[in-house]
Structure 1
Amino acid sequence: MKSVHRISFQKLTLAPLFLLFAIVSHAQQGPTVRKDVPLDSIRLSDPFILADQETQQYYMTGTGGMLWKSKDLKSWEGPYRVTETDPDSWMGPRPMIWAAELFNYQDKYYYFATFTNRDVKIDTVAGNVIERRASHVLVSDEPAGPYIPMEDPTYLPADKPTLDGTFWIDTDGKPYMVYCYEWLQNLNGTMEKIELKPDLSGSVGVGKLLFKASDSPWSREKDANGNDVPNKVTDGPFLFETGSGRLGMIWTSWIYDTYVQGVVYSESGTLDGPWIHEEEPITPPNFGHGMLFTSFDNKTLMSVHSHKSVNGRTIRIPHLFEVDLTGDKLVVVGPYVP
């Protein structure tokens, strides 16, 4: 928080002075931390859970830039503010933070997230103003942060809105970010990859197309003439391998106004694909933006969020599903209750 200058303290009574200090103290302390919070009482979009073996604790993040902790997936503590961004960077002093993900790699913890500076406009397409938005990576020595900037000020082009970056080591041994190029600008969202530096402190080269939103056989929307066409949204990629060694990706789009998640598999076993889409979504309606992790009791779980309208306001609630990866495909077993 910036210092307050040029205040005439002779004009302040005791009550306003106390109020000023209270506001500053609250801003520095961050949000109120709650304990023993059930998972379904948390309001969170794009939930991502890191099961950290060293601390034997689960760390959950997502949209909003906050962090929750749990020992058992049932009772959670938080939220904690864990990011420290540079106010003089392209992100601005208070960026929006979406879809944060946590990865433990080479004795460091990395925070992949989407940052938006709403004060910077980069384009206008079909009447939509495109804000400065991009996937980026922060680093920490601890899973609970703080996560701070690294070497490169940008990972992806400044004139291109990108989001939902995730992490994968491909068969060439190199680290990559897989991310979405947002449909608001290209009108047909894409899934892309870009190589990262060995310490993830920046990117190498340029992005490469993996597939387009219109390649999906299961997503749907109505075009301007009322015809059924594939939905234009690509959202929430997450990479995984099946028990047979097959490379897959879960990702999310829409069937009209319903949020759903599908799966796509790489024929080559690498990020280069080609990527072959399953015909049907893998989650029930209204669940999406998933990721996979292994619990401390060795279950493979998928975290997702649902949408719910309450008093005209949409809220998003995290959920867990158990999945089976032992065969050639990802199979959703059913809801998981800790």
Structure 2
Amino acid sequence: MQLPGMPLHDPFVVADEETRTYHLYTSNEPSVSGVEGVGTMVYRSRDLREWTRPVVVFLAADQPGIWAGDGGWAPEVHKWRGRYYLFTTLHAEDRPLPVPPAGRWGTPFQVPNHMRGTITAVSDSLLGPFTAVDPARPTPPEHLMTLDGTLYVDRAGQPWMVYAHEWLQTVDGTMEAIRLTPDLTGTTGAPVLLFKASDAPWLTEQIPAGVPHQLAPYITDGPQLYDTPDGSLLMLWSTYEKNVADRDGSISGGYVQTYAVAKSGDIRGPWEQRRPLVRDDSGHGMMFRTFDGDLMLILHRPFENARGKLYEMRLDGHELRVLRRRDDLDGGG
């Protein structure tokens, strides 16, 4: 298989040095994996061009007492203390959360909310099967509607989960972090606010003066953390760039891949927003090193019926640059 024929959303690559094999995790797609159910599947490749048919490594229905059975979004796999930990986002529409009062932020939004959050599962193998460490609840606080949790281990060795707090609760979506216990099975302390989506000053550049920006939500999506050699910390993240689409002043937007920089090297920031790396309805990217040492960005495009797209990147200090699109690997389009 090659990337143009591989359905995938929110791609995450583990370059396994031991087997010299790239593992590309995404939400289970039964039409490709042949396995029904909400979960995670993985494609494998030795050259980023030819990929095996995917195998399923996690199914929500196989977890006794699991709190939710929908979603299966944004799976990531991280090695920690000799084992592999899967993070993936589930949701349960039959478990409602309180709805914020209409007009609280000066907006017309009053959207029904329900439990949504990232779970943690563990395996001794990159190929699973992964078992939920606590099937009764998500890892972030369950009263928060969150998604896209990722692992970050700071320079003191403290593991954190960084996640997006849904605009459905906040309208101005946020990135937050919470400390994890050493075995990644629980959390300690309160969540830490890292930044708000509206902190990106370019988000509303295409909206004329006088048009209320609050008519469209500010979205945070797909965090991934990356330490730089100069001691800074980068966060890849995605959002929807707002623009005026119609003569009546209604606001729409396009999905974009962007990033932020914490020059302090501390997850708590302060965070400085950078301009988008890739537009064209692209996003939820992550970076990895090839076995030849190249820095690569993988993301999905378009948002619907998504496929993986690859970009060769350069890191100048703490500034990211796209060197070239690798359409020789992802088939163009």
Counterpart of 2:312 (choices 297, 319, 322) is: 322
Counterparts of 1:218 and 1:149, CA distance in 2 = 39
Deviation at 1:303, TM superposition (A): 0.5
Residue aligning to 2:233: 247
- 2:297 is aligned with what amino acid? M
Cα offsets for 1:24-54 (capped at 9, x unmatched) = xxxxxxxxxxxxx111211211111111112
Unmatched runs of 5 consecutive residues or more in structure 2: 29-39, 101-108, 243-252
Unmatched runs of 5 consecutive residues or more in structure 1: 1-36, 309-313
Residue aligning to 1:274: 270
1:331 matched to 2:295? The reply is no
Secondary structure of the 1:286 match is coil
Deviation at 1:247, TM superposition (A): 0.9
Counterparts of 1:206 and 1:319, CA distance in 2 = 36
Counterpart of 1:96 (choices 71, 76, 80) is: 71
Counterparts of 1:55 and 1:194, CA distance in 2 = 33
- Are residues 132 and 222 of structure 1, via their aligned partners in 2, closer, same or farther at CA, if it must alter by over 3 Å? farther
Counterparts of 1:330 and 1:260, CA distance in 2 = 15
1:138 matched to 2:128? The reply is no
Larger gyration radius, structure 1 or structure 2: 1
The answer as to whether partners of 1:231 and 1:255 remain within 8 angstroms in 2 is no
- 1:321 is aligned with what amino acid? Y
Counterpart of 2:223 (choices 237, 242, 258) is: 237
Alignment of 1:13-52 (within 5 A): 37-52=1-16
State the TM-score, normalizing by the size of structure 2: 0.82
Cα offsets for 1:184-225 (capped at 9, x unmatched) = 0111111000111112122112211011111111223869x7
Counterpart of 1:149 (choices 127, 132, 138) is: 132
The answer as to whether partners of 2:194 and 2:267 remain within 8 angstroms in 1 is yes
- 1:88 is aligned with what amino acid? G
Larger deviation, residues 214-223 vs 158-167: 214-223
What is the count of residue pairs matched by the alignment? 293
Residue aligning to 2:85: 110
Deviation at 1:231, TM superposition (A): 5.3
Residue aligning to 1:298: 293
- 1:140 is aligned with what amino acid? S
- 1:226 is aligned with what amino acid? V
Alignment of 1:38-187 (within 5 A): 38-64=2-28, 65-85=40-60, 86-91=63-68, 94-125=69-100, 126-151=109-134, 153-154=136-137, 155-187=139-171
Counterparts of 1:265 and 1:115, CA distance in 2 = 29
| Identity percentage of aligned residues | 35
Counterparts of 2:293 and 2:162, CA distance in 1 = 26
- 2:167 is aligned with what amino acid? W
Cα offsets for 1:265-287 (capped at 9, x unmatched) = 11321101011112x21113322
Secondary structure of the 2:168 match is helix
